[in-house]
């Protein structure tokens, strides 16, 4: 058989090119590590915060804050280095050295980024991990807290409860979520109808810019302070800490969880809920979790279950009266209700036994699964016949689920331009689409992701349009990807309008001013203006 010398030469050149590329990459990475060491303060050595694939603890550090197992596969791209910053000077060094080497930096606080954008990339990258920077400094006299980005919500709630039975903070219901990502994307929880979003209760911040300089609200200016409260701060710099304003809660709050299936008249109850949920007193939040369960009476063996889950900032007697007046079909009774403290209501909402020791909120290790999330906003009630069609589609697409989170109250009073988060008045509720699974592999993941996409597509007639709005904290790469090249602005506009509506343009102008070279970037970051 004759040897094809052109083919041999081509293969040799390819191998040589790959070897050269790997060598160049290693050289860049080594130079980056040396730069970090050169920029380390003697009083705060950076060496102990550096983890490379050769470090014995590298895999443990990387996996400790991966909250979506879909991004913990053998084929998932891994960072060439993780910097677990122990001091603000480490963040400054990371920015200076990454800029010098034109290296992609990902910023991770709690790792709950649904599509993994805080710790995965398709280009060589390193992770700036914030989990060591978790201090919480509470001043009860001014009712304010300085909380660092690496803290988790459970730690924040627990520390507040140590000092007061009548204070809380309006943020998420999952205690292992990191402060950094949650706050910068908007942040919502079950007190939002009373007090608005997390970002509506932020009064200051410590922020490190593209030149490594540290700012507070005054020195960064109101435009940038506006942008990092709901616009995704990782597009602009690194937030070291936020100063938040505590809110008042009664000593006794009330929670309930009531489940209804289609056989229990769930369709009529949901229909009634959608007409009143956004008009209820601000102190009352009633979420719906909708999934498919086995049925012993329905043909086909499956039915839809709707779980009505509530927090009321008041006593059970008042709650039952409000519910029976506004949502009588649910048939809420006193026996369905649990009166408890605000901090224990957090346990209830996290499906932790309500009388558990509250220091369980300090646990940073949640149960993990493979998952996909998407979002929508509903502005008009869905016809009852359409609800019935939705249930049939959910049975077809099980185990895809939906969660309905009611708006109204304080959310409808705050201007859509007050922060980058634009979804205010005019929204009845937000939908979260979700699928969880426990088997690894790309093929399995694709199957479950597609189930979620199909349910999302089916809901198109019933949700917002032009644009079809989405929630930044429910990061969804299906909405568009930015390759951060010459087409960056146009690519960014595709998802940016959905997340931010009219606020997108202001975010772009601020980004162009504070980070003109687009150093702080990811697959869905705010782009700069085209040159």
Instruction: Give the domain CATH number at 212.
Output: 3.30.465.10
Q: DSSP state, 334? A: G
Residue 22's pLDDT is what? 57
Q: Tell me, what's the pLDDT at 20?
A: 52
The answer to whether the beta carbons of residues 242 and 135 sit under 8 Å apart is: no
Of 85, 103, 129, the position where a domain reaches its end is 129
Q: Total domain count for the chain?
A: 4
Range of the domain at 484: 480-531
Q: Do residue 314 and residue 227 come from a single domain?
A: no
Is 474 annotated as catalytic?
yes
Domain endpoint, select from 113, 129, 145 = 129
pLDDT the model gives residue 8: 46
Q: In this structure, are 322 and 272 located in the same domain? A: yes
How far apart, in whole angstroms, are the C-alpha atoms of residue 126 and residue 356? Answer: 39
Evaluate whether residue 352 is within a structural domain. no
> Looking at the structure, do residues 268 and 378 belong to the same domain, yes or no?
yes
Residues 117, 266 within the same domain? no
Question: Does any domain span residue 351?
Answer: no
User: Can you tell me the distance from the alpha carbon of 303 to that of 259, in angstroms, rounded to the nearest whole number?
Assistant: 12
In order, the DSSP letters of 207-257 are: EE-TTS-EE-HHHH-HHHHHHTTTS-GGGT-EEEEEEEE-EE--S-EEEEE
pLDDT at 297: 79
d(CA 321, CA 334): 10
Catalytic residue among 158, 474, 495, 499: 474
Instruction: Specify the pLDDT at position 2.
Output: 47
* pLDDT the model gives residue 152: 98
pLDDT tens-digit profile, the chain (531 residues): 444 555 444 544 555 454 455 566 788 899 999 999 999 999 999 999 999 999 999 999 999 999 999 999 999 999 999 999 999 999 999 999 999 999 999 999 999 999 999 999 999 999 999 999 999 999 999 999 999 999 999 999 999 999 999 999 999 999 999 999 999 999 999 999 999 999 999 999 999 999 999 999 999 999 999 999 999 999 999 999 999 999 999 999 999 999 999 999 999 999 999 999 999 999 999 999 999 999 877 767 899 999 999 999 999 999 999 999 999 999 999 999 999 999 999 999 999 999 999 999 999 998 899 999 999 999 999 999 999 999 999 999 999 999 999 999 999 999 999 999 999 999 999 999 999 999 999 999 999 999 999 999 999 999 999 999 999 999 999 999 999 998 999 999 999 999 999 999 999 999 999 999 999 999 999 999 997
Find all residues with CB under 8 Å of 55, minimum gap 6, and list them: 61
Q: Rounded distance, CA 505 to CA 334, Å?
A: 50
* Final residue before a domain boundary, out of 429, 462, 495: 462
- CATH number, domain containing residue 331: 3.40.462.20
299, 394: one domain: yes
DSSP class of residue 378 equals: E
Residues 288 and 264 in one domain: yes
CATH code for the domain in which residue 117 is found: 3.30.43.10
How is residue 56 written in tokens? Answer: 């014995």
| pLDDT at position 12 | 47
């Amino acid at each position: 058989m004759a040897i094809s010398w052109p083919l041999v030469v081509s293969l040799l050149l390819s191998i040589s090119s790959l070897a050269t590329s790997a060598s160049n990459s290693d050289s860049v990475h080594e130079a980056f590590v040396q730069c970090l060491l050169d920029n380390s303060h003697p009083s705060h050595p950076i060496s102990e915060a550096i983890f490379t694939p050769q470090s014995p603890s590298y895999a443990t550090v990387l996996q400790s804050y991966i909250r979506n197992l879909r991004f913990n596969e053998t084929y998932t791209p891994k960072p060439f280095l993780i910097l677990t910053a122990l001091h603000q000077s480490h963040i400054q060094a990371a920015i200076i050295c990454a800029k010098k080497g034109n290296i992609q930096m990902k910023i991770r606080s709690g790792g709950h980024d649904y599509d993994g954008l805080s710790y995965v990339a398709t280009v060589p990258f390193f992770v700036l991990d914030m989990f060591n920077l978790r201090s919480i400094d509470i001043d009860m006299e001014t009712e304010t807290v300085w909380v660092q980005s690496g803290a988790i919500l459970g730690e924040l709630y627990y520390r507040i409860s140590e000092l007061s039975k009548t204070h809380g903070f309006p943020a998420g219901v999952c205690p292992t979520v990191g402060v950094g990502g949650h706050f910068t994307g908007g942040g919502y929880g079950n007190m939002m109808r009373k007090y608005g979003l997390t970002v509506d209760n932020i009064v200051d911040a410590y922020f490190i810019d593209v030149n490594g300089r540290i700012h507070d609200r005054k020195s960064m200016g109101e435009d940038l302070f506006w942008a990092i409260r709901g616009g995704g701060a990782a597009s602009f710099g690194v937030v070291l800490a936020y100063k938040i304003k505590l809110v008042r809660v009664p000593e006794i709050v009330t929670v309930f969880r009531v489940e209804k299936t289609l056989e229990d008249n769930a369709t009529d109850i949901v229909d009634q809920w959608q007409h009143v949920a956004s008009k209820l007193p601000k102190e009352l939040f009633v979420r719906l979790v909708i999934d498919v369960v086995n049925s012993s009476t329905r043909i086909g063996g499956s039915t839809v279950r709707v779980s009505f889950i509530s927090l009321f900032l008041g006593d059970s007697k008042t709650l039952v009266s409000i519910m029976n007046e506004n949502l009588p079909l649910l048939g809420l009774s006193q026996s369905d209700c649990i009166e408890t403290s605000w901090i224990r209501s957090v346990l209830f909402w996290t499906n932790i036994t309500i009388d558990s020791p509250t220091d369980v909120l300090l646990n940073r290790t949640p149960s993990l699964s493979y998952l996909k999330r998407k979002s929508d906003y509903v502005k008009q009630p869905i016809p009852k016949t359409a609800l019935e069609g939705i249930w049939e589609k959910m049975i077809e697409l099980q185990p895809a689920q939906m969660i309905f989170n009611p708006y109204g109250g304080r959310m409808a009073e705050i201007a859509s331009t007050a922060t980058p988060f634009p979804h205010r008045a005019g929204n009845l509720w937000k939908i979260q689409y979700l699928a969880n699974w426990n088997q690894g592999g790309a093929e399995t993941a694709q199957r479950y992701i597609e189930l979620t996409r199909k349910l999302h597509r089916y809901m198109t007639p019933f949700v917002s349009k032009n644009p079809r709005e989405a929630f930044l904290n429910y990061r969804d790469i299906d909405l568009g990807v930015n390759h951060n090249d010459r087409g960056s602005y146009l690519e960014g506009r595709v998802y940016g309008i959905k997340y931010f509506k009219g606020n997108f343009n202001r975010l772009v102008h601020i980004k162009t001013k504070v980070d003109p070279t687009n150093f702080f970037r990811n697959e869905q970051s705010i782009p700069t203006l085209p040159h």
